[in-house]
A and B are shown apart, each in its own frame.
Chain A
Amino acid sequence: MMPEMIWKLIEISIIIALLIPMAAMLVWVERRMIGIWQDRLGPNRVGPFGILQSFADLLKILGKEDWIPPFSEKLIFTLAPIIGAVCVLMSFAVIPFSPDIGVSDLNIGLLFFLAMASLAVYSVVLAGWASNSKYALLGGMRAAAQTVSYEVFMGLSVMGVVLLSGSFNLREVVLAQSEGWFIQSQFIGCFVFLVAGIAESHRLPFDLPEAETELTAGFHTEYSGLKFALFFLGEYLGVTLISAMSVVLFFGGWLMPAPLDSWLPPLVWFIFKIAFFILFFILLRTSLPRPRFDQLLKFGWLVMLPLALFNLLATAFLKLMGVL
């Protein structure tokens, strides 16, 4: 085998080996931060500051019976959580972590991300269908409607960035921001992208597919053990992915804020920015109530779609006028 191919494989394995434990740690980070914001302690028993909580959770989940209900569609029931986790992990392939770290410089990187995001919905929909239970089915149907709608705005909201950078290649998008981050002109696009991103990864306040107050646990009602863990992993990887994408598209990727000199390596800047967005998503989760399902769709089509279209038109106009 060619040596560069081996290096690529090593790079991929390192990225995966860092991403998955990080996503697992996020469970602890989330519970701990919510605790602090709500003036209580959160999980603090396992290890110093409770840092080993995720490890304990993992052991517990591995010890549980991996049960497939007899009334379910067995093959698809098993396949669904795998599709979800794999689609999210695949998206990380096009993310440029730093000037020389990143799995692939695909020239349609942004489209690849959108494609993987739209394939990830199969995980939830199929889980809902294969479970053969009413709650799961309702959750799956909500997921399908919600994701297909919010995908439209997500795609439209990033087109402003494509207009400004002139490329679908995410590395070139970052390099195009060395004169100034795109958030300066694309603040509407960034807002739409963040909202659509939360809806895509169905986190609170857009967690209607699994709304536990009305649907037990929605699409993963029937899941337990390792398969449930895969759904969980997919969700936290999704949060990381949306944070990484917002940083790459609107906040200059690995580039440092303009006034500061390069006294930190680019990768550290990238991780700082991602951490900021992850904490922002966790804070949103604790502070916003869940909308009703029809309100969610109405908000999407009546507010987000016009906003995204306006952003695209205004960006195109300003670009033609030579302002941007």
Chain B
Amino acid sequence: MIAAFSSIETLFYLAALIAIIASLKVVTQKNTVHALLYLVVSLLAVAVCFYLMGAPFAAGLEVIVYAGAILVLFVFAIMMFGLKDDETKYAPQSKGLTIWVGPCLLAISLLIALLISLDNAEIQHQLSATVISSKEVGILLYGPYLLAVEIASFLLLAGLIAGYHYAKPDAQGGHL
């Protein structure tokens, strides 16, 4: 039992390490498509983390929605516009260190919070002990969080209508 637990922990840290390295690669790659592929790897690694923490439903959705649909659209757009090498001279990285400071501070505070929670034995126990099934997620979404779901769906509908409006040909009243 103890051996199995420690191996799950090892797997978790391995996946987390892959996620971190891949995410770093996303922002340092010069080739846009390579950067996107690293983002896919990072999302897959995060999905593995979710799965190991007892949230298989979230893991599945992470792969289907993010890696499987949204990033395919990103790749599609990059292929359409024929982008190859990132235009480094216009990228914010080259505009001095000042622009890094804010995000770095935010990320460091997030890291500290994460370290504290990882150090906490009780949180550790909760993370590894409970498995959240898709049924529980559904009951929560359509129970206490119904309003949030409805608001999100309204937002998506608005986006859909706007997209439809922009994509219409000029003759039918669309304009871009």
Contact = CB atoms under 8 A, between A and B. Distances in A.
Interface residues of B, number: 22
A118 B134 contact: no
B68 A121 contact: yes
A147 to B, nearest CB: 8
A108 B63 contact: no
A220 to B, nearest CB: 16
Nearest to A138: B79
Interface string A118-136: 1101100110110000000
Contacts of A51: none
A128 B79 contact: yes
Interface residues of A, number: 28
B64 A76 contact: no
A151 interface: yes
B79 A148 contact: no
Interface of B is mostly: helix
Contacts of A76: 33-34, 37
A129 to B, nearest CB: 5
A111 interface: yes
A13 interface: no
A106 interface: yes
A144 B80 CA distance: 11
A145 B64 CA distance: 16
B73 interface: yes
Sorted nearest first, the 7 A-B pairs with minimum C-beta distance are A118-B68, A111-B60, A115-B63, A144-B76, A108-B60, A108-B56, A115-B64
Interface of B: 33-34, 37, 40, 56-57, 59-61, 63-64, 67-69, 72-73, 75-76, 79-80, 133-134
30 contacts: A76-B33, A76-B34, A108-B57, A108-B59, A111-B57, A111-B64, A114-B60, A115-B63, A115-B64, A115-B68, A117-B68, A118-B63, A118-B64, A118-B68, A119-B63, A119-B67, A119-B68, A122-B75, A125-B75, A126-B33, A126-B37, A128-B79, A129-B33, A141-B76, A144-B72, A144-B75, A151-B68, A151-B69, A155-B64, A168-B134
